[in-house]
Amino acid sequence: MPPLDPDRLLRACFAAAIDAANPARCVPPALPPAPTGRTVVIGAGKAAAAMARAVESDWSGDLCGTVVVPHGHALACERIEVLESAHPVPAEAGQRASGRLLERVQGLGPDDLVLCLLSGGGSALLPLPADGLSLEDKQSLTGALLRSGARIAEINTVRRHLSRIKGGRLGVACHPARLVTLAISDVPGDAAIDIASGPTVADPTTCADALAVLARCGIELPSSARAALRAGAWESVKPGDPRLAGTEFRLVAAPQASLEAAARVAQAAGVRPVILSDRLEGEASDVGRDMAALARRVLERGEPCAPPCLLLSGGETTVTVRGDGVGGRNVEFLLAFGIALGPREGVYAFAGDTDGVDGMAPVAGAIWCPDTLSRAAACELDPQRFLDGNDAHNFFARLGDQVVTGPTLTNVNDFRAVLI
């Protein structure tokens, strides 16, 4: 067996994780039979265009529809319209696209089929505010939630109750057509209500739950919106609603399967893989410090496994923004991990977002090496200062350790690998 190349192995594991969620691979096996009536495709998310193209390539019958993706994630399709909008803060183009999706499903009957293609990023791309709420209100609220450190399930609870399309409302608009949702999960636990904020599924959370999240995060709402939530006027579609009876939700790709694909790469290289969890949450820097403690335990005690081993994890951490740097949750995790680990031989780490964009920067993530701290010192870079300023992207950029893939056209969220 050739000598182990840590950098190459970590990159190969990341590539395998992304490939496992490639829409061309995972969408066609999940397609339902063609209906006797029309087939309309709708969808939103970072993978929506690639999913639409996968449908087109495997569908011989009549087909039309519209999907919306973030800027830079579009693919040309022959029969399905692809629109673009901003992410993660919603924009007017997304509001128009939301209206277009609702138009597409009007007037359908029980012999027709709606294929809804959802993936991470769909929430921001479908910003159709509840009556009485403006797009500017939603933009301000989204920005505040993203900076607050709230978990994605909490953010989406709020989103579902301030929308005319999320929280099952798009699904109701498809009635009485048959509705099949194909989803690529980017959320811890793969909950259908949290993938793109669940536009086609029933929602058990309430307006009161949304108010509780906002109160916990210290985020204010316009008085009219707060009154509407208190009165339950913006309640989402609830379980048992007959208009969603018979609808199907099919998960076609998820973080666990991608971690398993990465594990197979490690095993083939003679490294024991250990999948810790596909749903790690929490403050990114705290998770980084916890992972550093686990790496030290492996080195010093051989627990939970002896080297050489690869610790794999997925999920979605959060960042409470206090600085004005250029960061993302994966590089924030990695920098906190490295600082807590200290100078240790034989430990390498990779953290990246499987969509190819970590935070607001067009960078997937970065790699940590045993000599990262010494190289930083030689460049007079203070890692703690970059961490305190939420400026981890610039730290790794100065060292040449960023990982740039471009948009991957899929999204199963965070990917972390620690090689010991």
Which runs of consecutive H residues, i.e. helices, occur in 346-388? 372-378, 383-388
Residue 154's contacts (CB-CB under 8 Å, 6 or more residues apart) are 145, 213, 216, 217
Contact 284, 332 (CB under 8 A): yes
On the question of a common fold for 6-17+256-419 and 23-253, the answer reads no
Domain assignments of the chain as residue spans, ordered by start: 6-17+256-419, 23-253
CA quadruple 77, 44, 181, 253: dihedral sign: positive
Which amino acid, one-letter code, is at 390?
N
Q: Radius of gyration over alpha carbons of the chain, in Å?
A: 22
Contact 341, 305 (CB under 8 A): no
Q: Quickly count: other Cβ atoms within 10 Å of residue 256's Cβ.
A: 17
CA dist 374 and 32 (Å) reads 55
CA dist 204 and 237 (Å) reads 8
5 exposure class (CB count in 10 Å sphere: 0-12, 13-18, 19+): exposed
CA dist 113 and 202 (Å) reads 19
CATH 3.20.20.80 at 6-17+256-419, yes or no: no
Contact 204, 193 (CB under 8 A): yes
Structure tokens belonging to residue 139: 């933009």
> What dihedral do alpha carbons 358, 363, 369, 372 form, nearest 10°?
-100
CA dist 48 and 42 (Å) reads 9
Q: Quickly count: other Cβ atoms within 10 Å of residue 222's Cβ.
A: 14
Hey, which bits of 269-382 come out as E strands? 272-280, 309-315, 348-353, 365-368
Please tell me the CATH code under which domain 23-253 is placed.
3.40.50.10180
Length of the chain counted residue by residue: 420
- What is the residue-level pLDDT of the chain in tens, covering all 420 positions? 467 899 999 999 999 999 999 999 999 999 999 999 999 999 999 999 999 999 999 998 899 999 999 999 999 999 999 999 999 889 999 999 999 999 999 999 999 999 999 999 999 999 999 998 999 999 999 889 988 888 999 999 999 999 999 999 999 999 999 999 999 999 999 999 999 999 999 999 999 999 999 999 999 999 999 999 999 999 999 999 999 999 999 999 999 999 999 999 999 999 999 999 999 999 999 999 999 999 999 999 999 999 999 999 999 999 998 999 999 999 999 999 999 999 999 999 999 999 999 988 899 999 999 999 999 999 999 999 999 999 999 999 999 999 999 999 999 999 999 999
The helix or strand, by DSSP H or E, that contains position 145, with its residue range, turns out to be helix 135-148
